[in-house]
Amino acid sequence: MREASSAYAGTLTPTLSTKIHGGGVCIVQKRGVREEASAVKANGKKKVFLMLSGGIDSGVAVPLLLSQGYDVEGCYMKGWAPDWVDCADPPERQASFDIAKKFGIPWRFLNYSEIFFDRVFDPMLSGYFNGVTPNPDTACNSMIKFGLFADFAFAAGAEFIASGHYVRKTDDPLRLLVARDPKKDQSYFLYDVKSEVLRHSLFPIGGFIKKDETIAMARRFGLPDAVLNKRPTVDICFLLKKRAADGSTVGERITMRELLEQEGERRGVTFAEGPITDERGVVLGKHDGVMLYSVTIGQKIGYNAATKIGIQGSGDRYYVAAKNVRENTIVVGSSHPRSSEVIVRDLNWISGRPAFPFSGHARIRTPQEMQVCRAEEGANGTIRVFFTEKQHSVAPGQALVLYDGETVLGGGIITR
């Protein structure tokens, strides 16, 4: 584990009190009076710690929870800031603070930067260096948001945690359900949340359609303009951006290539050019390192004329069919590789293990329509999943999630 940083202690104002948690810093802003927050209030309301990211979804969750009679505290978690680049303070932090101030709720800043590296980014990078395609979003949810943060919240006296995820939940019996908005459904990313945490989790926006309802509520509730006007991003989860040249604003994002180069160098990883071949072994082009060439199964291979990396010019399309780290080769095909069977390990079941054999639906990525499948128990705690229609681009390291209608049963990691 890297040395934990407390660089953000007291940086909002010199009068802020701080609280150390998990190698990071918790700063509390309480209804205009800076003081340590009391975990349980005297008014008897149920305490909820909300993951307040600074976006529309968690921002709308604040007034919804307040209207339901909860005593809400907003919590902002700082993502990983690599020490080999100057990272800017993300604008979402200020947006989170402004939302809390708008609704008069306590606000906490949790510096989980090094913990994000240890529990999310380090395993992600190890996956790429071993030739598989990891899923950091599911790890972020299970290890950080509904893991470390949940432990902190419950230890501090919260009865529930809440988030702006688009999922729904029922109690008695406990079930995790897909969102009402199919375009925003995030159930795939929550398959690995433990049932004891899910039982004490709230998802106040999971029953709303974002485009038609959530955004309208955000305007009606008066969320800050910076939140309303923020464009959606596809950046790596909880990775801070570089500081701009003027030193005051957020600049470019850190690319996956930069991450792999810098962190690979620290691990003594050697990136060497190697062949790109077809399935018969005919060399079609070259790559600059299987581990550095962070393509996944089914991804299209391009060509860089300046570096001569990729496959030049025949006019045909090629897609990654296999990667071999040991031999430093990439194998491609003229169409997406397809498979009707996968093996899944490291399983988590939301509401108990289903009876096998099981017939239902599954997803191997998101966004993806539900796919008809049959699942059977396999060897050594695995399951084998058979699809009615062959699935393209099945990538080891990604998650497979099983569904029974709208209910998320659970899932695991694709191994083959």
The helix-helix angle for 122-129 and 256-266 (nearest 10°) equals 90
Which one from 26, 75, 87, 140 is the annotated catalytic residue?
Answer: 140
Structure-derived torsion over alpha carbons of residues 219, 223, 224, 226, reported in degrees to the nearest 10: -70
3-state secondary structure of 140: helix
Cα–Cα distance for residue pair 197/143, rounded to 1 Å? 12
Of 69, 28, 26, 74, which Cα lies nearest the Cα of 49? 74
Which one from 26, 75, 87, 237 is the annotated catalytic residue?
Answer: 237
- Is 140 among the residues known to form the active site? yes
Q: Which residue has the tokens 């104002």?
A: 13
- Is 26 among the residues known to form the active site? no
As to burial, measured by CB atoms within 10 angstroms (0-12 exposed, 13-18 middle, 19+ buried), residue 173 is exposed
The beta-strand segments (E) located in 171-264 are: 175-178, 201-202
The helix-helix angle for 91-103 and 56-67 (nearest 10°) equals 20
Strands of the sheet containing 283-287, edge to edge, are 303-304, 309-310, 283-287, 274-277, 329-333, 319-324
**Residue 32 amino acid letter:** G
Q: Looking at the annotation, which residues are catalytic? A: 140, 237
